[in-house]
Structure 1
């Protein structure tokens, strides 16, 4: 039934079969959004023939307009096409589950054993590689996003605003979106999208696929339906916050984390790297949930486990709650925080899909929305550059001094605290990724192995 068009008038993939396929997709969802989308395309379009190329890219373009991890939302959307709401819930949830369990296990190992020599050596190599991985992401995204001088200007302005003036990431996204929305009307040639994931092909003959014009959900958009979906989604999103506030404390770390990551869930345009600089700076400098180097460790965990890269927020929540556990035990608080942070990060993703899917045809080809997304993507390049510089300062140097001149903020490294072993490992990672074109997983494995060699065999310290 999964290959070709079934004989039934309204063909459907058996729900049990869909669950097994979504588990398979989730287990292979390494390599960030590009790799995850490629896995889904291979399995769902080419192998199973559940959805046509045109429909797949159409759905992807819609998900690219939304805040949140587009690969997870794409899985949710296709699950919704197959089996309605329960299909979307299962597909989107299973996409996250393997990464959640893996990062939970790694977080437990980190807090219990990071002081041991072998684990510390592994994390030493991990952080050095992640710095270069972020630079590689910056290079990849900038090639796609910066098509003209206006886009370069938006990227540069975004970097200056966030790095030197500490303008919050959400405001930068709103400013860029507004500029692109208005600019697309006066100079549409400058705000035309770069195509990101490729151009959709016309595929009028869907007869060989399971999802067709006749079998796709025929849900008519309406104000009444939108109100019902929005109300239910908001209740599911925020009831856990109410329960935690009433049963524990409104001043607890859990409430702070749920509110903070709820805000992040609505501004994560452009992928996880775009928002991670803001998350890192707030988590380290404002809330004190973790140290600068620990953010790199969490990012390394997310890079080497299946699922969306934004799952790194689970590690941030875990450490913050472990260190501010009252009135719970440290491990109990950390596990609870992992669940709550993951909840508020992904519930909005389901809301965006279930609310917006019926409007997808209206959004398709909208010039102003396309212009807004193009400008936001350019701003994301500047934000990721900020992330790269911030990580580099706090990874390569043992001490960074902050200076203020009015609204201007400067972070100045103390050159005498430069870690030569860390610099050496970062250079190895650069050669592997940029020159030899090795995979992220291979690069992380090599630098972790060298971290063990440097620390245990040679006696070097980061």
Structure 2
């Protein structure tokens, strides 16, 4: 495996880092699109990464917690340039979208109360709901497929999230245990993961009391980042439950706006943590939240990547991850139901959401950021026309 820092036909460290800086600045389309772009550029055109290393990196990113695109970038950096490569590629891939989100958050705080801005975000919220509905549908089809057990775990998680209006960490652990028991027929799997599950059960994603400090904010997003499996959207129900329902740090409108901002900026969707951190605690909060949410995937790459090939086909590991993933997708679906019931409150918002969902279903030619901006413009016009 190539780990030298010396220049080679496979690109230097500087070239590698600059590539991910450019991808983080101009890469739109979500995690799947970004992952596909890495394969096209790094494997097929530049030849800096072998197809085998890319395929293993993609599987590793799907199996372990962490936003898919960001973790894949870190893994590929590690493959070529060891820990330094993982650190630099991850940093420069995330940095552009973080700086953009920081600027948008500052403008949002300053001008967000203006009626014209509120009118724009009125339509944006409806489009975000439509995008989340479409994403949840695609995730269920591509991940659950025809596995009846995963569909059961998904349904339980979706109903529980919609009913309680918050994430249930112990349910994730339970789904993982059930998946391990059924798929491996190993009842001792309970003793293998129960201690870790009890830690989450007693602390919860929101951590110990007192989320009004920088440490509390960091702890909250650190735990949230540990439950982002495959798609960055998996973080949505966790953030909603903690920030809106429990701590009341954000209103439901502010939360939807935060998700929208992440979708109209390049890079990983999870960068919404920076926007939320800024709203809660200013620039320091933005830095703490962003660092915390990307810390789990970063350290997983550094620690687990060297061991990955040994356990890549382990039945217990795969069954555990499948159970957690099914629960995560169920939580996304439940959160979509909650957000839709709170956002689509009148005819105009329902029309915008329906039209957005129809466009997403019928064509792939309109990027999600463009759709969100168009929905914002339509919402602005409709509200102005009716008031």
Instruction: Note the C-alpha offset of 1:110.
Output: 0.9
Aligned in 2, Cα 1:165/1:290: closer, same or farther, shift over 3 Å? closer
1:191-202 to 2 correspondences below 5 Å: none
Change in CA separation of 1:453 and 1:45 when aligned onto 2, cut-off 3 Å: same
Instruction: Select which of 299, 307, 314 maps to 1:366.
Output: 314
Q: Residues 319 and 251 of structure 1: is their aligned pair in 2 closer, same or farther, counting only changes over 3 Å?
A: closer
Following superposition, the deviation at residue 25 of structure 1 comes to: 2.0
RMSD of Structure 2 on Structure 1 (CA): 2.2
Change (3 A) 1:30 1:152: same
What is the aligned residue count? 358
1:39-69 CA-partner distances (Å, limit 9, x unpaired): 1111111111111222201111112121111
TM-superposed CA distance for 1:422, in Å, is 1.2
Q: Distance in 1 between matches of 2:170 and 2:98?
A: 29
1:274 aligns with 2:273: no
Match of 1:106 among 101, 104, 124: 104
Q: Distance in 2 between matches of 1:76 and 1:69?
A: 11
The aligned counterpart of 1:341 is 289
Q: For residues 322-362 of structure 1, what are the alpha-carbon distances to aligned partners after superposition, in whole Å with 9 as ceiling and x for unaligned?
A: xxxxxxxxxxxx11100111111112222111111110111
Aligned residues of 2:274 and 2:290 also touching (Cα < 8 A): yes
Partner of 1:300: 260
Structure 2 length-normalised TM: 0.87
Residues in 1 aligned to 2:218 and 2:232: alpha-carbon distance in whole angstroms: 18
Task: Please identify runs of 4+ aligned residues in structure 1 that moved more than 6 A.
Answer: 8-11
- Alignment partner of 1:63 is 2:61: yes
Q: Is the 8 A contact 1:159 1:382 kept in 2?
A: yes
Distance in structure 2 (CA, Å) of the matches to 1:125 and 1:32: 21
Whole-Å separation in 2 of the counterparts to 1:426 and 1:10: 50
Instruction: Give the whole-Å Cα distance in 1 for the aligned partners of 2:211 and 2:86.
Output: 35
SS at 1:164 equivalent: helix
Instruction: State the partner residue of 2:201.
Output: none
| CA deviation after TM superposition for structure 1 residue 99, in Å | 1.1
Q: Partner of 2:137 in structure 1?
A: 139
Once the two structures are TM-superposed, the CA of residue 382 in structure 1 deviates from its matched residue by 1.4
* Residues 140-180 of structure 1: CA deviation (Å, up to 9, x unaligned): 00111222322221111112222224674422221122122
Q: 1:259-338, aligned counterparts within 5 Å?
A: 259-321=219-281, 334-338=282-286
Say which is worse superposed, 437-446 or 298-307, in terms of deviation.
437-446
- Equivalent residue number for residue 395 of structure 1: 343
* 1:15-414 alignment, distance < 5 Å: 15-146=13-144, 147-165=146-164, 168-186=167-185, 252-321=212-281, 334-397=282-345
Structure with a larger share of its residues in helix: 2
TM-score (normalizing by structure 1): 0.73
The answer on whether the counterparts of 1:72 and 1:95 sit within 8 Å (CA) in structure 2 is yes
Larger radius of gyration: 1
Say if 2:161 and 2:334, in contact at 8 Å, map to a contact too.
yes
Contact 1:283–1:289 (Cα < 8 Å) also in 2: yes
Within 5 A, what are the aligned runs for 1:4-19? 13-19=11-17
5+ residue gaps, structure 1, are: 1-7, 188-249, 322-333, 398-418
The 8 Å contact of residues 122 and 452 in structure 1, kept in 2 or not, is answered as yes
